[in-house]
Structure 1
């Protein structure tokens, strides 16, 4: 089964660099059909044109246009969900299975855990069980782990982010997704304490493209394995070219200034 997992990981990671550009598109369950995700065929098609390594979506969206003419992209099926309309929006539940993802031809699955939430114990249990099941099928698992709860004062604090990454690693994830800590030194400690690839989340939509690309560049220089960012990518006014320059930053060590010149900003 390890061979199967290795083959699937090579569909979402560049085999030469060991890094990835993932664009999550699972926001519809959480907040509805927001700008950039109204037409899913167009959205996925633009990510393919830009050269993203993978897209991430809920099971029902796969039929709406994952495989596109003129290109291909890795598929990660997200197994967790909650909505912003709930009184408990941070309480994620499983809404799909590893077997569902296999039937759809997925290259990986993902699970979301919010440490510190009142339902943390259930989310931890779900991640552990999904990781065990996925290991039996040779299916990689991406764990999105954030510190969100009454006791969490700052979800970007280095010690909180490091704890999140370690939880994902220790419960069996093959890739962990966490917020960027804000500086290379503290993020390097997060990466160094984790023996699986660490990718950064995008967080709230940023007003400055430079700030976003700088964050990606800094995270990679600190040892990160790339990014898994949604709104800051698919809502960008020039999203195809943005994905192209992000790929250059992640896979070719393109400088931030050069990336902005290519983007025309």
Structure 2
């Protein structure tokens, strides 16, 4: 039997940074032109980073706070995001077709929050994704969950379809209630997603050892915002993640549940694209908030 503990506890990660071999997206230098072009709609070519606005939560949570009206609450924010992550239903009904943000479509689904969330299936046909001009498809991967094997098979099938059509795949590491959220687990979950062919991986930030997660994953890692935090705390998390090797953030609740979503989005952009320190980004948030309130 393989020495799993030894593999998981290895420490020769060589730092958080990795070369991109002439292309601005980590691990994508050998991809076809079309897939590279789509990745360039998500990650800015000048720095290889992204601010993704996530509002796909309704696919299992319904109309949660801040997402009651996507057309009025979310659509005005889209011009200031590099990419947007949503369902095809939300895209068709609520997002203006002149939007230039990279489109990341939720491609997995099935259970609601009332059921076991790991019981997912592929819920989007690749032809519809191409029809919608998607840059990437997002799929949940439940490493350690009850339906782990199926979720990994779903990811592999979606990667096969994406490679045929030049569409990137974003593997989202899901964490069950009973799982430990630490670097050891996220090294496992992110690496499996990348090994199965995901072009991007979305995961959570951890205070201890996050640089080992980014260093051991051969494709870009973007950090999930998670539950709503005070603005300074969310900006601090984003800053630390970027300094420790993340290629961007994919925030939802920490933006659309803020009292001033547009101001928060501007502050997050400052952290990701300008390396603004959390305190400076928070001051920008306060200035933009005051302007919004007046």
Aligned to 1:74: 102
Give the CA deviation at 1:260: 0.9
Query: Do the aligned residues in 1 keep the contact of 2:35 with 2:167 (CA within 8 Å)?
Result: yes
Aligned to 2:57: 27
**Which of 228, 231, 249 is residue 271 of structure 2 equivalent to?**
249
Aligned to 1:62: 91
**Which stretches in structure 2 are left out of the alignment for 5+ residues?**
1-30, 288-294
Deviations 1:127-170, CA, capped at 9 Å, x for gaps: 011001101111111100134275x3x1x211001111101100
Give the CA deviation at 1:252: 0.9
Residue 74 of structure 2: SS of its match in structure 1?
helix
Q: Is 1:162 the equivalent of 2:184? A: no
- Supply the distance in 2 between the matched residues of 1:47 and 1:9 (Cα, whole angstroms): 21
Give the CA deviation at 1:68: 5.9
- Supply the distance in 2 between the matched residues of 1:91 and 1:233 (Cα, whole angstroms): 28
Query: Which has the greater radius of gyration?
Result: 2
Query: Do the aligned residues in 1 keep the contact of 2:118 with 2:151 (CA within 8 Å)?
Result: no
- Supply the distance in 1 between the matched residues of 2:146 and 2:152 (Cα, whole angstroms): 12
Aligned to 1:13: 43
- Residues 227-236 or 172-181, more deviating: 227-236
Aligned to 1:90: 118
**Which of 52, 68, 81 is residue 52 of structure 1 equivalent to?**
81
- Supply the distance in 1 between the matched residues of 2:77 and 2:119 (Cα, whole angstroms): 29
Query: Do the aligned residues in 2 keep the contact of 1:118 with 1:149 (CA within 8 Å)?
Result: no
Query: Do the aligned residues in 2 keep the contact of 1:67 with 1:73 (CA within 8 Å)?
Result: no
Residue 181 of structure 1: SS of its match in structure 2?
coil
Give the CA deviation at 1:89: 2.4
- Output aligned runs, 1:82-161, within 5 Å: 82-86=111-115, 88-148=116-176, 152=179, 154=180, 156-161=181-186
Q: Residue 89 and residue 146 in structure 1: after superposition, are their counterparts in 2 closer, same or farther (change >3 A)?
A: closer
Aligned to 2:203: 178
Query: Do the aligned residues in 2 keep the contact of 1:19 with 1:225 (CA within 8 Å)?
Result: yes
Give the CA deviation at 1:212: 0.5
Residue 232 of structure 2: SS of its match in structure 1?
helix
Paired residues in the alignment total 256
TM-score normalized by structure 2? 0.83
Query: Do the aligned residues in 2 keep the contact of 1:143 with 1:176 (CA within 8 Å)?
Result: yes
**Which stretches in structure 1 are left out of the alignment for 5+ residues?**
none
Aligned to 1:196: 219
